[in-house]
Amino acid sequence: MAPNTEDDYYPSEHGKPQRTQTSLQPGPVAAFRGSFVLNSLPPIPDSAAPTIRQSRVPDWVTYFQAGWTDVGIWKSAFVEMVATGLLCYLSGLIDTTIGNFGTSQGAAYAGLTNIFLLTLFIMAAGPGSGGHVNPTITFATLISGLTGFSRGILYLIGQLAGSAIAGAVLRASFGKARSTAVHGGGCYRDHHSHGYSVTVGQALCIEIFSVFALLFLAFGVALDPRQQKLFGMFAAPLAVGCSVGLVTFASGSIAPGYTGASMHPGRCFAFAVARRSFADQWIWWLGPFIGSILHMITFRIAPPYHSTTVPGEARAGPV
């Protein structure tokens, strides 16, 4: 029997079981422009992401209303919740383990492990959701017009929920005392290292431009449709993982008492839940927000797409 089939037995009119064979087919891929694993879609209709020059009321109404009743998008948001939660949980364990090594090369270990961590999670979640597993990526693709409004909002909600659950599980895994001692897993700035750790302004600056650099790399290597022709579709997850690993290494050992740029608000939220302290949490959210805006401006000035005429019946853009 073929491995992708299963047998079902139904009673026939004569009382004898009748065998039927059902083929198990792969489910649909989450196909939208903001996906890290599918960047060779047909041309995107302009109505899917209205711009200032196209801001007619019907287009905006369609943009905000489309997709909410699509069960596939809700399933993709669920995949994002699970994947983001597991990623945050493993990230907390990894960072704590590296910290317990007592090595001065923690940034190198963190950067290297992030390459594997992000690449594998993008590959695993990619077919079901596009492999964002990061509120920064979802928000950046949303404001750049690559992710539909309903999908973006549901993804952000799912990612935040997954991060909160991961924080609770980290606290259950570490215990109260260890959760406090290891700062929940990371994303902290030592307030007691005056003159040694970074200031609030410095931490925000590092976060903003680290996010800007990450998005520039991630969009360039994974969301530019021209890359698929050059390197193929399978290089995108690894390229994004390498981008995160590089930026992590660049900022990981700048000053004692500072864990470097996070570039993942959900991850920092999980660690804050684990340690029961939300000090400086705004840095890990405002930084990605501003960094995403900077990248969106760059993306809008020199987008990888160009406008083409789309037949009227095909103007319902992907969500």
Query: What tens digit of pLDDT does each residue of 94-141 get?
Result: 999 998 888 878 889 999 999 999 999 999 999 999 999 999 999 999
- At 69, list the tokens: 């009743």
8 φ, ψ to 5°?
A: -125, 145
Measured from the Cβ of residue 199, the count of other Cβ atoms closer than 10 Å reads 12
| pLDDT at residue 236, rounded to an integer | 85
| In 55-148, alpha helices (H) | 57-65, 71-100, 106-129, 135-143
What does the longest C-alpha to C-alpha distance in the chain come to?
A: 88
- At 304, list the tokens: 């990888």
Lowest mean pLDDT among 88-92, 258-262, 306-310: 306-310
Is residue 163's pLDDT more than 90? yes
Task: Give dist(CA 12, CA 10) in Å, integer.
Answer: 6
| Residues 240-292 pLDDT 10s | 999 999 999 999 888 888 889 999 999 999 999 999 999 899 999 999 999 99
Task: Give dist(CA 21, CA 19) in Å, integer.
Answer: 7
Is residue 205's pLDDT more than 90? yes
Contacts 24+ apart (CB under 8 A), 283-287: 283/189, 283/200, 283/203, 283/204, 283/207, 284/187, 284/207, 286/204, 286/207, 287/203, 287/204, 287/206, 287/207, 287/208, 287/210, 287/211, 287/261
Q: Are 279 and 298 in contact (CB under 8 A)?
A: no
- CB under 8 Å to 192, separation ≥6 — which residues? 257
Amino acid at 111: G
| pLDDT at residue 309, rounded to an integer | 57
| Residue 4: pLDDT band with limits 50, 70, 90 | low
- CB under 8 Å to 196, separation ≥6 — which residues? 190, 255, 256, 257
Q: What SS3 state is found at 3?
A: coil
- CB under 8 Å to 276, separation ≥6 — which residues? 171, 179, 180
